[in-house]
């Protein structure tokens, strides 16, 4: 080969996604609360967008209905945008001055002050660490003991368990002491912590509320709670202390022979142990409030199911007539201002169209779901049919990924409750009649069979298979076992009562 530089021409195709397409995908993905916040932010950043007030919207709907000779449309089915002006505000504010000065005049704040949105502030809550520190502060401890107690509290997880060993706690706190001595440059006159100090402090921490806190494993957690109830010397205490493995495995006969009691007494004691809290710290966990606003509503009217978009709480957007009038006279602006105006106007137009496209896509998806799952709405979960994203995508003429974004984290209010859209999608099994049945419906049947079984003679997986096959469902035993595990149902041997 001869070294050198050369040029060549070639043709190739590439798929490039522009920023607006990314934003459109984000809008499809957003649940109702996130979309509300997004639109409110757009109103603050884009001067060509303004919010349509409810009374203005009703007036425009009535006017449109009169022109078309129809009644006003329901707000739940109305579009999210209109471009009709409400009134000319040029007499009130010098919009040209505002536009040229970068929207920094005081009149803008006065005009939009009533629409200002205040983010709700979360009220401070107290977690497990705060609860434990409050109790430590009431104890008669030396400063040295309080430092060690703080080390213990810092290593307790949200379940209430001590995450590290006593050796690690002693080593960690002694390492901090050595560092402090080295930084001060003085000879160490502070004694290091010993294992006896850690063991004594562990007993103090484990005596705090809630009972069981500071345990290093489940067995110790249960023993601490039994000790708090003063039942550690009863049969349930002996089960946890001396036969914990057999207790977990439900080996009632083996335990009864070992302790010289009847299997029924062992089971009764095990039932008392099951009432204890395996994760005592969770009652103080900072669980976030998850508010659900349905994106869609399904109602049955005169025997027919109707789908509505629940977007009445969304800000109704339209193009600002005042800014459009200013933007038409392009001779007043230099190239930089023209580019700014063009970008903001195009962005506002695109946002209005994207919101309407999102609404129409969601309605298409939900209408097909209602059509496909009509038996579920009429009869219940056992009549839920198998449904995949691809099937919906092919029916509405969109890509499967689009349907996935539409259904993700979206909820629908139905006559059977508020449900996530993902609820209607599941795999299926065939029946002897050649029909398909949803896996979710099969799980519901299994759950009902287990609930109604004889506890002294619980149904095995094979027995459940036989019952389902008698009803026309072809299912394997391993599939029943998988569904049972997903439902959190124990095996027949573990469910058996004596």
Give the tens place of pLDDT for each residue, 117-150: 445 555 556 789 999 999 999 999 998 899 999 9
Q: What is the pLDDT of residues 410-456, one digit of tens each?
A: 899 999 899 999 889 887 676 666 566 778 888 888 889 998 988 88
The reply to whether 9 falls in a domain is no
Q: How far apart are CA 240 and CA 262, in angstroms?
A: 17
Q: Do residue 149 and residue 200 come from a single domain?
A: yes
Q: How far apart are CA 404 and CA 421, in angstroms?
A: 10
**What is the predicted pLDDT for the residue at 149?**
93
Domain boundary among 266, 285, 304: 285
Domain holding 396, by residue range, is 18-85+287-425
Residue 240 in tokens: 């946890």
The reply to whether 237 falls in a domain is yes
Q: Is 371 left (phi over 0), alpha (psi -120 to 50) or beta?
A: alpha
Q: How far apart are CA 76 and CA 57, in angstroms?
A: 12
The reply to whether 93 falls in a domain is no
- Tally of structural domains, the chain: 4
**What is the predicted pLDDT for the residue at 75?**
34
Q: Do residue 174 and residue 228 come from a single domain?
A: no
The reply to whether 322 falls in a domain is yes
Q: Do residue 37 and residue 163 come from a single domain?
A: no
Decide: 477 and 461 in contact? Cβ < 8 Å. yes
Residue 427's closest CA among 491, 483, 360, 353? 483
Most distant CA atoms of the chain, gap in Å? 101
Contacts for 33-42: CB closer than 8 Å, 24+ residues apart: 33/291, 33/293, 35/314, 36/313, 36/314, 36/315, 39/314, 39/315, 39/317, 39/355, 40/117, 40/315, 42/317, 42/351
Peptide bond into 424 cis (omega under 30): no
The reply to whether 445 falls in a domain is yes
Q: Do residue 491 and residue 370 come from a single domain?
A: no
Instruction: Give the CATH number for residue 432.
Output: 1.10.10.60
Domain boundary among 250, 269, 285: 285
The reply to whether 7 falls in a domain is no
Domain boundary among 285, 313, 341: 285
**What is the predicted pLDDT for the residue at 306?**
92
Residue 152's closest CA among 226, 216, 221? 216
Judging by beta carbons within 10 Å of its beta carbon (0-12, 13-18, 19+), is residue 251 exposed, middle or buried? middle
Please state whether the predicted TM-score (pTM) of the whole model is above 0.75: no
Q: Do residue 291 and residue 419 come from a single domain?
A: yes
What's the alpha-carbon Rg for the chain, to the nearest Å? Answer: 34
**What is the predicted pLDDT for the residue at 162?**
94
Q: Do residue 364 and residue 291 come from a single domain?
A: yes
Q: Do residue 371 and residue 256 come from a single domain?
A: no
The reply to whether 231 falls in a domain is yes
Tens place of pLDDT per residue across the chain (498 aa): 567 777 778 777 665 555 666 666 777 777 777 887 888 888 888 888 887 765 555 555 566 566 655 444 443 443 333 333 333 433 333 434 433 343 343 433 333 334 444 455 555 567 899 999 999 999 999 988 999 999 999 999 999 999 999 999 999 888 888 887 777 666 556 788 899 999 999 999 999 999 999 999 999 999 999 999 998 889 999 999 999 999 998 999 899 999 999 999 999 999 999 999 999 998 887 655 567 888 899 999 988 999 998 887 777 777 877 777 777 766 666 667 777 777 888 888 888 888 888 888 889 999 999 999 998 899 888 888 888 888 898 888 888 888 888 888 889 999 989 999 988 988 767 666 656 677 888 888 888 999 898 888 899 989 998 988 888 888 888 988 988 988 888 888 888 887
**What is the predicted pLDDT for the residue at 64?**
59
The reply to whether 3 falls in a domain is no
Q: Do residue 415 and residue 352 come from a single domain?
A: yes
Q: Do residue 257 and residue 313 come from a single domain?
A: no
Q: How far apart are CA 79 and CA 128, in angstroms?
A: 48
Q: Do residue 457 and residue 386 come from a single domain?
A: no
Q: Do residue 275 and residue 320 come from a single domain?
A: no
Q: Do residue 393 and residue 408 come from a single domain?
A: yes
């Amino acid at each position: 080969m001869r070294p050198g530089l050369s040029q060549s021409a070639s043709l190739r195709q590439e798929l490039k996604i522009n920023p607006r397409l990314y934003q459109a995908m984000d809008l499809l993905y957003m649940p109702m609360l996130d979309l509300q916040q997004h639109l409110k932010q757009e109103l603050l950043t884009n001067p060509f967008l303004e919010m349509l007030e409810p009374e203005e919207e009703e007036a425009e709907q009535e006017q449109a209905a009169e022109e078309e000779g129809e009644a006003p449309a329901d707000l739940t089915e109305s579009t999210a945008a209109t471009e009709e002006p409400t009134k000319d505000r040029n007499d009130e504010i010098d919009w040209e001055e505002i536009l040229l000065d970068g929207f920094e005049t005081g009149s803008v704040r006065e005009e939009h002050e009533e629409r200002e949105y205040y983010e709700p502030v979360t009220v401070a809550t107290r977690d497990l660490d705060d609860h434990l520190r409050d109790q430590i502060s009431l104890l008669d401890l030396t400063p040295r003991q309080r430092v060690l107690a703080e080390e213990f509290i810092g290593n307790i997880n949200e379940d209430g368990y001590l995450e590290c060993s006593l050796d690690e706690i002693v080593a960690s706190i002694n390492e901090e002491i050595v560092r402090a001595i080295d930084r001060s440059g003085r000879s160490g006159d502070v004694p290091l912590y010993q294992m006896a100090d850690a063991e004594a402090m562990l007993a103090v921490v484990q005596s705090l509320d809630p009972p069981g806190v500071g345990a290093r494993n489940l067995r110790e957690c249960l023993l601490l709670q039994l000790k708090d109830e003063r039942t550690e010397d009863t049969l349930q205490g002996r089960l946890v202390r001396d036969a914990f493995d057999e207790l977990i495995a439900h080996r009632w006969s083996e335990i009864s022979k070992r302790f010289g009691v009847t299997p029924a007494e062992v089971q009764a004691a095990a039932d008392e142990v099951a009432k204890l809290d395996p994760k005592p710290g969770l009652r103080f966990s900072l669980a976030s409030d998850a508010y659900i606003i349905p994106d869609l509503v399904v109602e049955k009217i005169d025997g027919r199911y109707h789908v509505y978009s629940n977007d009445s709480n969304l800000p109704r957007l339209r193009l600002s007539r005042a800014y459009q009038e200013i933007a038409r006279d392009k001779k007043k602006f230099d190239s930089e201002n023209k580019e700014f105006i063009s970008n903001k106007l195009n962005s506002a137009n695109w946002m209005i169209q994207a919101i309407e496209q999102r609404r129409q896509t969601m309605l298409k998806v939900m209408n097909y779901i209602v059509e496909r799952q009509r038996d579920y709405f009429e009869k219940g979960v056992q009549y839920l049919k198998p449904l995949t994203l691809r099937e919906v995508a092919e029916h509405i003429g969109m890509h499967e990924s689009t349907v996935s974004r539409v259904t993700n984290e979206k909820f629908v209010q139905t006559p059977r409750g508020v449900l996530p859209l993902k609820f209607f999608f599941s795999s299926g099994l065939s029946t002897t009649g050649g029909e398909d049945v949803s896996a979710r419906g099969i799980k519901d049947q299994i759950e009902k069979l287990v609930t109604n079984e004889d506890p002294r003679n619980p149904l095995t997986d094979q027995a459940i298979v036989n019952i389902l096959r008698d009803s026309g469902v072809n299912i394997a035993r391993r599939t029943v076992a998988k569904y049972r595990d997903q439902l959190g149902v124990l095996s027949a041997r573990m469910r058996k009562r004596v």
